[in-house]
Chains A and B, each alone.
Chain A
Amino acid sequence: MKWIAASLLAALLVLLPLVAGEFYLNLASQILIAVIFALSLNLLVGYGGMTSLGHASFLGVAAYISALLTTRYGLGHGPAAIISILGTTVTAALFGIIALRATGLGFLMITLALSQVLWGLAYRMSDVTNGDNGIAGLTRPMPFGIPLDSPASFYWFALIVTGFAYLMMAIFVSSSFGSTLRGVRDQPRRMAALGFNPWMIRWITFIYAGFWGGISGLLYVYYNKYIHPTSLSTTSSAEALLGVIAGGSGTLGGPAVGAALVLLLKNYASAYLDRWNMLLGLVFLFIVLVMPTGIVPGFSKLVARLRGGSK
């Protein structure tokens, strides 16, 4: 039953460009990018118990490095992508060393502060980053000589990357390491007594999450062909965190659903409402009140109860 549903969903996703128009395809591509980002944030928030308000840093760093290398330094997309992901991963490693001096609220505040530093740099260091104007006129890569300029080809490209990212993160959380990560989230003291190094486990997870955040950042800059400091602002970190929590942190499906919800609301509601953020807030409030653990766990509980009741 589960496999049939998964195959149906996969088929629907693959065949979407045959039925959907340009607008919807572009929306779907954006959702895919947001899904990778939310999944990576969820490794920290859901599985590691490390609530970060600075995850957009990694999206932004990857996007800016790629944008700068391909425009200013004239590098090809291949080497630019590799350097950008390496650079993002190193940034995550450094940020991790600083932020993981604390846990809980302290950790959250440090991630927030670090991301604000990057945002400030992107804004103020205008001779490099072009400041508030952002970096425009970017191109999309041509993997294996296939142009990604049409909405359909980009969608499929994003779908392949997202599928791979989902698979890798699903394996990660079910692995030995994933189990130790959940263990450190729930009982750090006990885990240390059992021979696990809690700090190292958190740090590696932080770097891994940064890596996938960087991957989503690359897709993001390819899709938009433009990058602006807002992309690494606290708002975009907070939006993603909202999606993860609303969808259900600590589950694989939850953050994907949450990210899609935030993006859809943003796109549809902002067409009709100026204060679409207020609507997002109301929806979030509703979810927290009705399904405190998030949409996906909430619905599975509901389904389980309905099934139990029909017996």
Chain B
Amino acid sequence: MTPLKSDYALEVVNLKKAFGGLVVTQNISLAIRQGERRLIIGPNGAGKTTLFNQISGDMRPNSGQIKLDGTDVTRFAPYRRAHLGLSRTYQIITLFTGDTLEHNVTLGLLGLRSSRWQMWRPLSFYGDLATEARRVLDTVGLLHLAAHPVSDIAYGEKRRVELAMALAQKPRVLLLDEPLAGLSNTERSQVKSLIASIPRATTVIMIEHDMDTALDLAETVTLLNYGRVIVDGDRDAVIADERTREVYLGV
């Protein structure tokens, strides 16, 4: 691994995004250390996904700064951020439904390899890509479905393919947007242990509503409301904070 340039895997400074008069993120600042497990919580419409979209580059902030491992990426296109080690999953499952699971994960691998530009050689000739894709599918427990198209598999399994695509890239910073949404209890614990097993070289930032499961995975928690950071800090401190109870737990 190349030496780390910054103590922080991800820094967000005074990030502001407004759609017309509607301010969705308002001066959000975050500093997330290398290897940290951060949970982002907040009621619906708090600006969590908008924050993710700005970090991943799908949306441009109106002002503010985003730094990945010390590099200012605020104006970088999404694909350049991916090459700097940023990877994400989507709240709404975004997979290539007509293709096999193996092909989906292969695309994840290909994204960071120069062979993605190769146009004179069939993809099937790259045996190492297929082997690696199957290895990643094995880690999420879906190797037996590798040859099936995504449209054939169950919702919970699709969630795991989303994760597999991101994990295949061995990202430095991984953004998980509601990875547990819509899962059954069994699936939940499967995905939970999967997230828990992500190596420490990867910093994990997760949006999740299921507090019971997500809090176990988190070390630090950020609470957003109306596009602002309300509380930010160690898990237990944030849970104990009165403002958290007020905004989120409704107690």
Residues of A that sit less than 8 Å from B by CB = 171-172, 174-180, 182-183, 186-187, 189-198, 208
Contacts and interface: CB of A to CB of B under 8 A. Distances in A.
Given A176-B126, A179-B103, A183-B96, A196 B111 contact: yes
Contacts of A193: 56, 58, 78-79, 82, 87-88
A177 B103 CA distance: 13
Interface string B48-64: 00000000111000000
B116 A180 contact: yes
A89 to B, nearest CB: 15
Contacts of A208: 119
B165 A194 contact: yes
Contacts of A171: 119-122
Interface residues of B, number: 36
Contact of B111 (A175, A177, A195): A195
A176 B115 contact: yes
B123 to A, nearest CB: 5
Contacts of A183: 96, 107
Contacts of A190: 90, 94-95
A12 to B, nearest CB: 26
Given A175-B118, A176-B116, A179-B110, A197 B77 contact: yes
B98 to A, nearest CB: 8
A195 B169 CA distance: 10
A194 B111 contact: yes
A21 B123 CA distance: 42
B83 interface: yes
B124 interface: yes
A176 B124 CA distance: 9
Contact of A176 (B90, B94, B110, B165): B110
Interface string B75-119: 001110011000110100011111000010011101110011111
B173 to A, nearest CB: 12
A39 to B, nearest CB: 15
A237 to B, nearest CB: 25
Given A183-B96, A183-B107, A194-B165, A177 B116 contact: yes
A176 B97 CA distance: 18
A171 B124 CA distance: 11
B82 A175 contact: no
Interface string B208-235: 0000000000000000000000000000
Nearest to B86: A193
Contact of B123 (A178, A192, A197): A178
28 contacts: A171-B120, A175-B118, A175-B119, A175-B120, A176-B110, A176-B115, A177-B116, A179-B103, A179-B106, A179-B123, A180-B107, A180-B110, A182-B96, A183-B107, A186-B98, A187-B94, A187-B95, A190-B90, A190-B94, A192-B57, A192-B58, A193-B79, A193-B87, A194-B110, A194-B169, A195-B82, A196-B110, A197-B77
Q: Which of B56, B90, B111 has the largest number of chain A CB atoms within 10 A?
A: B111
Contact of B118 (A177, A194, A198): A177
A247 B56 CA distance: 40
A6 B32 CA distance: 59
A196 B79 contact: yes
Contacts of A180: 107, 110, 116
A308 to B, nearest CB: 17
B123 A174 contact: yes
B124 A174 contact: yes
A174 B115 CA distance: 13
A198 B57 CA distance: 14
A107 B33 CA distance: 44
